[in-house]
Amino acid sequence: MTGARPPADPLQAARARAFRLLAVRDRSRRELAERLGPGYPKDVVEAVLDAFTRDGYLDDARLARRLSDAWVRERNFGPMRIRRELARRGLAPVADAAPDPLAVQEAALRAARRSLKGKAEPADPGNLRRMAGYLERRGFPADTIRAIVRRTRQGELWSDP
């Protein structure tokens, strides 16, 4: 059988595995440690994580900012949902990872429009309750939800392009 032989050095093997994991997608320090942990000694995993952090391959703050921006723009997540998702990924909330308030407002409007799409009467109380619940599950703050409900009742929200 011909093939690449695994390196005898556990540090070299752990580095190679970490590079393969990061080639698939960005990971937090905790995620990478969890993936490397079962196969390698703890001191080897820590050495790899420290080296990757020092060399810039692993940057939790950068990852938090990138994910925060993407989740607002692409998934219409609100700030509370973003904090939950960052915590789930092992990323402590980073002050500069908070999305731009204007982007949050635009995401809330997109989510509201999506929730009410195809509804004959957007201002119907039942539709408004469902929309408010949807926005709450997306992680938008109560004041943002109230403003959108008010604008929908007044008919402003749906006159926008």
pLDDT in tens, 44-74: 999 999 999 999 999 998 999 899 889 999 9
**Residue 116: predicted pLDDT:** 87
Q: Residue 35 class from Cβ within 10 Å (0-12 exposed, 13-18 middle, 19+ buried)?
A: middle
Taking the C-alpha atoms of residue 100 and residue 66, their distance in angstroms, rounded to an integer, is: 12
- pLDDT tens digits, one per residue of 116-126: 888 878 888 89
* Residue ranges per structural domain of the chain: 11-58, 63-154
